[in-house]
């Protein structure tokens, strides 16, 4: 019957979604490099719920197993057998994962709802519904969030993700405050909630309950866990300013570790029993608290460094290097758990301290993979957790209602959180340069969302020692629902209403970045001059130490160089610049253009970096009349007019051009006819970057351009026989990821310069020309002879082409070139990249002063036409 | 001897009060800074150069910072030029640019302070005191900034400076004529382009009220 209602569920959801499972593949595809991890993820989740469902499935197992064995003693070989029990557990797990994923899908389908109600709350609600369905089918609660599953399989990746994507600088600058809240605040919450409840109990506010002071403290400690899962889920959607965010987020992350420690201490006190506790035990408890917390962090640190070291030498096994992050992170979690240290703190610090070195050491692709996989795992677990938190609620056994207890707990949890936060920020503000204002404090106290950690700890309670366990679980769940759903919903309006400083999400301008660097050094200098050893001094010393020793030890030499902050700035400038070229085509990154009013530049740039050559046919058509009217005259015509026109058409066409580009890309680029190799390799991951393919793409593009040109110009139907490739427009380039050999391609159209840039490294090759150096005729029209079918450029006959010989034009084509060396000279400025004068490219990757094409014919490979 | 000591004491206390009013430092802070000043000046009344502070050697913008101390523009008295030597008051005046604002400061005051800090920064970059940070000047800033980080060559620094300059130009004059020559960043533009930058935590250091005895004497 298990499978029946699962299918039933799936069908329901499918109907709601109104589509197929392939929907889920849609969003996944975006994951890019991450998609190969999907399988891994699924496999992982199989494991995840394995143990969780095992217990539940067992009861069914027994009854049906007997039946199964009887049935198996049949004579003859069955062709097909139905072996549900072989796959039952993983199957159920997988189904649940899909169900959870589909829940998220449904929820995210409507942004109007998620704008108001946070996703986590909706997931819990859908959990209620699912739980109701399960209950309706089974008449008992079959599935619930099991602490083992939660702590060992669902939580680690979330924490790892949080640690890995932690903004380190922000975190460490505010570490003092975060620790204050995480340690003192947590203890405060645990103690006050426990004591107050106990006081109320003594005062008789809750009737007859079998809970002692220690149990109350234990309960208080588990309730003091501000849950990072819930907090991230809500705060991510709210975008508060970064200091506030890091305070709440960092606190919730570290506070989890602290809570677990506190919980364990009180748990052992409870086991010890009231009378056996003396001063020595209490001191031991306090010591163990610190040992566990700091020991856990230390374990994490060690594993983080190990991981950094490991990634330092994974160059040859790039395909699996992303996996190390997860495995080592998980190992740090388990190791800490094994040593009874704080596992959460361990994995947090593992993530925090490995991120820098790992990202520098690993291949760029691997880093992307790690990022995506991390998100896939963390987001997946988060979804599962919330759904199961909802499902867990549908259980009669945990709902022992005690109005006094529940309401008082809720009240105390909220009130003491507010008091604690206000008190601690008051202390903190005495030491802060920029004090946290009232709004920040309100949001911080309001952001004390309780989540799955509290529930997981409550579920861990031992009912032999704590008689009222169901009541505690029930109360914990109510508090979780209250905080996640109600506070989550009201958080956004509150932030808006209180006008809390939001995060400024506009990117820093370059000058601001430079200025920030100036600030850093300036503060250090002023501290030095004034003879103080303040924060800046310490930070500066640390940076020096870090750069000198840690980086040397943990980073590959090549990465060290690349990791340089300024190198990144430079990288960023280049990238941004290239993007801007495509975008606007007017900012050059140098000041040259400001001084010169050469419209050509704009025009040139529009196309220079518009390396989607495929957009050309459209333009060709547009300019067709103009250019074709007098191809020969054009050569000598003043080009600016047509250039102006180009510019306009370019803007005007952008829309349709894009559409066309996509269409063409789809049609031609990635399905090159018969050269597409379906290669399978476990150790390589090629993304269609093969040279041959690029060649093919290029040829096809060329041909396409010619065809459309022809059709526009001569009224000839596009198909063959194509005569000459006449178009000339601008210089073209296609960064194709291979920078090793530069293969320039000159034919009748010199402008089809095929400079192979190193796009992999992010530098877009750029061919600019020096303004004012006499660009004469960028729109050069070679002669065109429709009756010269022999002059088919080789790439048009792409069918027979040997791919290695592909680009070289034939001798005949060479001979027929309309351009002689003298022509070349005339046009030379066009081709000269003057980037080096004003906007030099980086060290090695690209010397962009491409010389004018050599007058001698390019490498020629004889081949048949 | 005791009489003269006492007189010196009262005199310095008196002048400390003046300085405190002028710069906003507390008396304790002024006392500490004065000690430091004496250390740096080798017990004389004025400082001629600050180059010998060992901690500064690794600072890429060392020269700019030191020049700022000798820059008359940072004394808020409207003068332009450079001092050959500075006394304690000038020293304190420059330091006061980095004094954190108290929580009671009103919004207008905060704005004024912010402007002053920006002015300090601007002056630091505007090395020829002509009121604009020209491309050459800015390039120099960036070059110096990068000078200590190795493996970055001048070309890169230049590129960064150029791009930043362009950014300023295009932000401040979105509809610039193509032949317009952007001469440099004026203070207004500087203020505008950095308007989004949070200055509170970036141009403040905490001046301690208590004396730190761990300081080394750097003149020896």
More confident residue, B160 or A592: B160
- Is residue A693's pLDDT more than 50? yes
Residues A618 and A623: their CA atoms lie apart, in Å, by 9
Q: What is the pLDDT of residue A334?
A: 94
Contact flag B170-A587 (C-beta cutoff 8 Å):
yes
B-chain residues within 8 Å CB-CB of A529?
Answer: 36, 40, 50, 53, 56, 65, 69, 95
The DSSP call for residue A249 is H
Tokens found for residue A32: 């890019």
| Nearest Cα residue in chain A from B51 | A529
Q: Which has the closest alpha carbon to A263: A460, A485, A468?
A: A460
- Is residue A648's pLDDT more than 70? no
In this complex, the residue of A435, A536, A589 whose CB is nearest that of residue B205 is: A536
Phi then psi for residue B132, to 5 deg, are -135, 145
Contact flag B193-A511 (C-beta cutoff 8 Å):
yes
Quickly list H helices, A180-278.
186-203, 213-223, 228-238, 242-272
Contacts with B, A 493-512, CB within 8 Å: 504, 506, 508-512
B-chain residues within 8 Å CB-CB of A839?
Answer: 159, 162-163
Quickly list H helices, B126-153.
135-146
Contact flag B207-A533 (C-beta cutoff 8 Å):
no
In this complex, the residue of A508, A527, A591 whose CB is nearest that of residue B166 is: A591
pLDDT mean over A422-450: 83
Q: Which has the closest alpha carbon to A713: A781, A651, A655, A646?
A: A781
Q: Which has the closest alpha carbon to A438: A425, A447, A448?
A: A425
pLDDT digits (tens, 9 = 90+) for A298-335: 999 999 999 998 888 887 888 888 888 999 999 999 99
A-chain residues within 8 Å CB-CB of B203?
Answer: 519, 522-523
pLDDT mean over A111-138: 85
pLDDT digits (tens, 9 = 90+) for A219-239: 899 888 888 777 777 777 777
pLDDT mean over A80-101: 88
| Nearest Cα residue in chain A from B189 | A511
Closest-CA distance, B166 to chain A, in angstroms, reads: 6
Contact flag A516-B202 (C-beta cutoff 8 Å):
yes
In this complex, the residue of B160, B170, B180 whose CB is nearest that of residue A573 is: B160
How many CA atoms lie within 13 Å of A564's alpha carbon, on the beta-carbon side?
18
- Is residue A821's pLDDT more than 50? no
Output the pTM of the full model: 0.65
Residue A275 CA to its chain's centroid (Å)? 53
Contact flag B194-A561 (C-beta cutoff 8 Å):
no
Residue A513 CA to its chain's centroid (Å)? 23
More confident residue, B44 or A93: A93
| Identity of the highest mean pLDDT range in A72-76, A479-483, B177-181 | A479-483
| Identity of the highest mean pLDDT range in A161-170, A399-408, A718-727 | A161-170
Concatenate the DSSP letters of all residues of A734-752 into one string: ---S--SS-----SS-TT-
pLDDT mean over A752-777: 38
pLDDT digits (tens, 9 = 90+) for B169-184: 777 776 666 666 677 7
Q: What is the pLDDT of residue A567?
A: 60
- Is residue B2's pLDDT more than 80? no
Closest-CA distance, B95 to chain A, in angstroms, reads: 8
How many CA atoms lie within 13 Å of A44's alpha carbon, on the beta-carbon side?
21
| Counts of helices then strands in chain A (DSSP H, E) | 37, 0
Residues A50 and A719: their CA atoms lie apart, in Å, by 60
pLDDT digits (tens, 9 = 90+) for A289-305: 889 888 999 999 999 99
| Nearest Cα residue in chain A from B176 | A594
pLDDT digits (tens, 9 = 90+) for B37-96: 887 777 777 777 777 777 777 777 777 888 888 877 777 777 777 777 888 888 888 888
| Three-class DSSP labels, A439-450 | HHHHHHHHCCCE
| Contact criterion met (CB below 8 Å) for A322 and A370 | yes
- Is residue B216's pLDDT more than 70? no
| Contact criterion met (CB below 8 Å) for A863 and A813 | no
- Residues with Cβ within 8 Å of A205's Cβ and at least 6 positions away in sequence, in order, are A404, A408
- Is residue A439's pLDDT more than 60? yes
Contacts with B, A 583-602, CB within 8 Å: 587-591, 593-599
pLDDT mean over B130-151: 76
- Is residue A153's pLDDT more than 60? yes
Contacts with A, B 29-68, CB within 8 Å: 32-33, 35-36, 39-40, 50, 53, 55-56, 58-62, 65
The answer to whether A534 faces chain B, any CB pair under 8 Å, is yes
Mean pLDDT of chain A: 67
Mean pLDDT of chain B: 73
pLDDT digits (tens, 9 = 90+) for A189-213: 989 998 998 888 888 777 777 777 8
Residue A673's pLDDT band (cuts 50, 70, 90): very low
pLDDT mean over A851-863: 45
For helices A452-460 and A364-392, the axis angle rounded to 10 degrees is 60
Range with lowest mean pLDDT among A61-70, A352-361, A603-612: A603-612
Characterize B183-207 residue by residue with b for buried, 16 or more Cβ atoms within 10 angstroms of its Cβ, and e for exposed. ebbbbebbeebbeebebeebbbbbb
| Contact criterion met (CB below 8 Å) for A605 and A587 | no
- Is residue A363's pLDDT more than 70? yes
Closest-CA distance, B11 to chain A, in angstroms, reads: 23
Residues A419 and B71: their CA atoms lie apart, in Å, by 50
- Is residue A242's pLDDT more than 70? yes
Q: What is the pLDDT of residue A301?
A: 93
Contact flag B156-A570 (C-beta cutoff 8 Å):
yes
pLDDT digits (tens, 9 = 90+) for A211-223: 778 888 888 998 8
Closest-CA distance, B78 to chain A, in angstroms, reads: 23
The answer to whether A532 faces chain B, any CB pair under 8 Å, is yes
pLDDT mean over A598-620: 39
- Is residue A412's pLDDT more than 50? yes
Closest-CA distance, A534 to chain B, in angstroms, reads: 7
Q: What is the pLDDT of residue A712?
A: 55
| Three-class DSSP labels, A702-729 | HHHHHHHHHHHHHCCCCCCCCCCCCCCC
Contacts from A461-468 at CB under 8 Å and sequence distance 24+? Answer: A461/A218, A461/A222, A462/A267, A462/A271, A465/A215, A465/A270, A465/A271, A466/A211, A466/A215, A466/A218, A466/A270, A467/A210, A467/A211, A468/A209, A468/A210, A468/A211, A468/A215, A468/A400
pLDDT mean over B131-141: 81
- In DSSP terms, A461 is beta-bridged to none
Contact flag B158-A840 (C-beta cutoff 8 Å):
yes
In the block, tokens 């030095």 appear at A528
């Amino acid at each position: 019957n298990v499978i029946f209602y699962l299918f039933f569920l799936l069908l329901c959801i499918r109907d709601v979604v109104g589509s197929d499972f392939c929907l889920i593949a849609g969003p996944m595809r975006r994951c890019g490099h991450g998609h190969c991890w999907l399988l891994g993820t699924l496999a992982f989740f199989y494991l995840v719920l394995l143990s969780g469902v095992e217990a539940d499935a067992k009861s069914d197992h027994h009854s049906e197993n007997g039946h199964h064995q009887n049935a198996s003693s049949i004579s003859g070989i069955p062709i097909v057998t139905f072996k549900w029990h072989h796959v039952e557990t993983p199957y159920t797990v997988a189904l649940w994962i899909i169900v959870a994923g589909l829940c998220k899908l449904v929820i995210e389908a409507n942004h109007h709802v998620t704008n108001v109600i946070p996703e986590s709350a909706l997931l819990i609600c859908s959990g209620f519904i699912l739980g109701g369905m399960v209950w309706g089918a089974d008449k008992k609660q079959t599935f619930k969030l099991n602490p083992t599953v939660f702590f060992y399989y669902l939580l680690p990746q979330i924490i790892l993700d949080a640690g890995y994507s932690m903004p380190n600088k922000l975190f460490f600058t505010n570490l003092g405050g975060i620790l204050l809240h995480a340690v003192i605040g947590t203890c405060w919450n645990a103690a006050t909630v426990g004591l107050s409840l106990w006081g109320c109990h003594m005062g008789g506010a809750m009737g007859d309950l079998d809970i002692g002071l220690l149990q109350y403290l234990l309960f208080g400690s588990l309730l003091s866990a501000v849950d990072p899962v819930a907090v991230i889920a809500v705060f991510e959607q709210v975008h508060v300013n970064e200091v506030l965010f890091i305070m709440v987020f960092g606190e919730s992350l570290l506070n989890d570790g602290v809570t677990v420690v506190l919980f364990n201490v009180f748990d052992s006190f409870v086991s010890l029993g009231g009378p056996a506790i003396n001063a020595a035990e209490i001191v031991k408890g306090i010591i163990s608290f610190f040992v566990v917390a700091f020991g856990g962090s230390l374990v994490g640190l060690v594993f983080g460094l190990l991981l950094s070291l490991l990634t330092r030498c994974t160059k040859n096994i790039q395909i699996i290097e992303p996996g190390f992050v997860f495995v080592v992170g998980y190992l740090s979690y388990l190791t800490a758990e094994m040593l009874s240290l704080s596992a959460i703190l361990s994995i947090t610090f593992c993530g925090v301290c490995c991120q820098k070195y790992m990202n520098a050491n690993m291949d760029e692709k691997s880093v992307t993979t790690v990022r995506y996989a991390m998100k896939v795992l963390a987001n997946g677990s988060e979804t599962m957790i919330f759904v199961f938190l909802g499902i867990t609620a549908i259980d009669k056994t945990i709902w022992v209602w005690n109005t006094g207890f529940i309401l008082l707990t809720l009240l105390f949890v909220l009130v003491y959180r507010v008091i604690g936060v206000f008190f601690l920020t008051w202390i903190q503000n005495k030491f802060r340069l920029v004090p946290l204002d009232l709004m920040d404090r309100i949001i911080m106290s309001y952001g004390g969302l309780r989540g799955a950690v509290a529930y997981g700890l409550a579920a861990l309670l031992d009912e032999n020692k704590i008689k009222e366990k169901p009541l505690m679980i029930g109360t914990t769940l109510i508090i979780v629902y209250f905080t996640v759903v109600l506070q989550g919903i009201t958080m956004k309006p509150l932030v808006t209403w209180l006008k809390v400083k939001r995060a400024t999400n506009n990117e820093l301008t370059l000058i601001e970045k430079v200025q920030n660097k100036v600030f850093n050094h300036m503060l250090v200098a002023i501290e030095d001059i004034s003879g103080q050893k303040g924060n800046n001094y310490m930070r500066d010393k640390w940076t020096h130490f870090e750069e000198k020793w840690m980086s040397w030890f943990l980073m590959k030499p090549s990465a060290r160089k690349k990791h340089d902050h300024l190198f990144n700035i430079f990288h960023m400038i280049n990238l941004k610049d290239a993007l801007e070229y495509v975008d606007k085509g007017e900012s050059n990154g140098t000041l040259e253009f400001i001084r010169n009013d050469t419209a050509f530049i704009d025009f040139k740039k529009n196309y220079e970096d518009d390396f989607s050559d495929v957009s050309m046919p459209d333009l060709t058509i547009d300019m067709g009349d103009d250019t074709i009217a007098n191809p020969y005259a054009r050569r000598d015509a003043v080009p600016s007019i047509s250039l102006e026109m180009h510019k306009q058409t370019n803007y005007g066409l952008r829309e349709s051009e894009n559409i066309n580009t996509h269409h063409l890309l789809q049609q031609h680029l990635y399905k090159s006819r018969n050269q597409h190799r379906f290669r399978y390799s476990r150790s390589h991951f090629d993304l269609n970057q093969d040279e041959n393919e690029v060649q093919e793409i290029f040829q096809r593009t060329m041909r396409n351009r010619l065809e459309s040109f022809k059709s526009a110009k001569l009224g000839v139907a596009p198909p063959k026989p194509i005569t000459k490739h006449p178009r000339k427009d601008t210089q073209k380039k296609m960064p194709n990821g291979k920078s090793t050999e530069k293969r320039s391609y000159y034919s009748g159209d010199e402008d089809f310069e095929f400079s192979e840039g190193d796009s992999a490294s992010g530098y877009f090759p750029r061919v600019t020309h020096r303004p004012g150096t006499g660009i004469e005729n960028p729109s050069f029209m070679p002669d065109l002879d429709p009756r010269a079918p022999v002059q088919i450029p080789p790439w048009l006959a792409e069918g027979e082409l040997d791919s290695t010989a592909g680009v070289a034009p034939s001798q005949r084509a060479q001979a027929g070139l309309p351009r002689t060396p003298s022509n070349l000279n005339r046009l030379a400025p066009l081709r000269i990249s003057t980037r080096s004068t004003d906007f030099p490219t980086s060290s090695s990757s690209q010397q962009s002063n491409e010389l004018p094409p050599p007058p001698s014919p390019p490498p020629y490979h004889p081949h048949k036409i | 001897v005791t009489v003269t000591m006492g007189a010196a004491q009262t005199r310095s206390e008196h002048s400390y009060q003046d300085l405190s009013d002028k710069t906003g430092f507390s008396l304790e802070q002024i006392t500490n800074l004065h000690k430091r000043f004496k250390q740096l000046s080798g017990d004389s009344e004025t400082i001629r150069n600050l180059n010998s502070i060992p901690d500064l050697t690794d600072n890429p913008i060392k020269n700019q910072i030191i020049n700022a101390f000798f820059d008359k523009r940072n004394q808020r008295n409207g003068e332009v030029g450079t001092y050959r030597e500075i006394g304690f008051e000038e020293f304190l005046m420059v330091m006061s640019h980095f004094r954190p604002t108290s929580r009671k400061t009103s919004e207008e005051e905060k704005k004024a302070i912010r402007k002053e800090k920006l002015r300090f920064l601007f002056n630091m970059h505007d090395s020829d005191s002509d009121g604009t940070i020209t491309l050459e000047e800015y390039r120099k800033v960036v070059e110096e900034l990068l000078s200590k980080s190795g493996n970055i060559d001048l070309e890169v620094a230049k590129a960064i400076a150029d791009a930043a300059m362009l950014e300023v130009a295009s932000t401040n004059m979105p509809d610039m004529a193509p032949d317009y020559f952007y001469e440099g960043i004026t203070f207004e533009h500087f203020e505008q382009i950095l308007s989004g930058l949070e200055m509170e935590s970036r141009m403040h250091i905490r001046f301690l009220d208590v004396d730190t005895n761990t300081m080394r004497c750097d003149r020896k």
